């Protein structure tokens, strides 16, 4: 008899999960997208706005997964995680943070659909409903890969 076990977000490849959860967020239509999403750069190190028209869903999926794995994350930590290196010509490259407005709007949008909530110790944490949804998506990704 095979042992029964549940699949969580920790058991799934991050890229596969983010792609599946972003598709779920887009399909559900509940996530509120800002009007400026097609005009804005995601950080000062970028030259252009993202080419992918669904980049906000992908960022929301990435943020939800990150907070699932590490609660108490706020805007500042997300700016650091999604930042990158700036090309300074002949001078050495340095790390720069991503846009705080994008991180803030993603958190607010995920709070509005009851995936995240404010943590007592600062930052955000995943809700019970959000954890159930993320684990359900992870299980479907696991079944598709098996």
Domain span including residue 21: 9-85+94-145
Q: Which of 3, 10, 4, 2 is nearest to 135 (CA)?
A: 10
In a domain, 3, yes or no: no
**Cα 106 from chain centroid (whole Å):** 8
In a domain, 2, yes or no: no
Rounded Cα–Cα distance for residues 32 and 40 (Å): 16
Identify the CATH number of the domain in which residue 40 sits: 1.10.10.10
Distance CA 53, CA 38 (A): 7
* Domain assignment present for 1: no
Taking only the tens place, the pLDDT of each residue in 95-140 is: 999 999 999 999 999 999 999 999 999 999 999 999 999 999 999 9
Cβ-based neighbours of 63, under 8 Å, separated by 6 or more: 78, 103, 106, 107, 110
Q: For residues 36 and 39, give the distance between their C-alpha atoms in angstroms, rounded to a whole number.
A: 5
Q: How many domains is the chain built from?
A: 1
Assess if residue 42 is contained within a domain: yes
Task: Report the pLDDT value the prediction gives residue 94, as an integer from 0 to 100.
Answer: 95
Q: What is the pLDDT of residue 2?
A: 52
Is the residue at 43 inside a domain? yes
Would residue 4 count as lying in a domain? no
In this structure, is residue 121 part of a structural domain?
Answer: yes
pLDDT tens profile 43-73 = 999 999 999 999 999 999 999 999 999 999 9
Task: Give the whole-angstrom CA distance, residue 140 versus residue 144.
Answer: 6
Distance CA 62, CA 45 (A): 19
Q: Is residue 28 part of a domain?
A: yes
Does pLDDT of 145 surpass 90?
no
């Amino acid at each position: 008899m095979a042992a029964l076990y549940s699949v969580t977000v920790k058991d799934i490849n991050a890229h596969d999960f983010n792609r599946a959860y972003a598709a779920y967020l887009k399909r559900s239509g509940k996530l509120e997208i800002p009007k400026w999403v097609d005009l804005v750069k995601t950080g000062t190190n970028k030259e252009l706005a993202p080419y992918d028209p669904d980049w906000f869903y992908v960022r929301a999926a990435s943020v939800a997964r990150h907070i699932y794995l590490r609660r108490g994350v706020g805007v500042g930590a997300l700016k650091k995680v999604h930042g990158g290196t700036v090309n300074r010509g002949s001078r050495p490259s340095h790390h720069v943070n991503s846009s705080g407005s994008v991180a803030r709007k993603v958190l607010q949008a995920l709070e509005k659909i009851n995936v995240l909530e404010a943590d007592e110790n600062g930052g955000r944490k995943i809700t019970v409903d959000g954890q159930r949804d993320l684990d359900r998506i992870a299980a479907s990704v696991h079944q598709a890969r098996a």
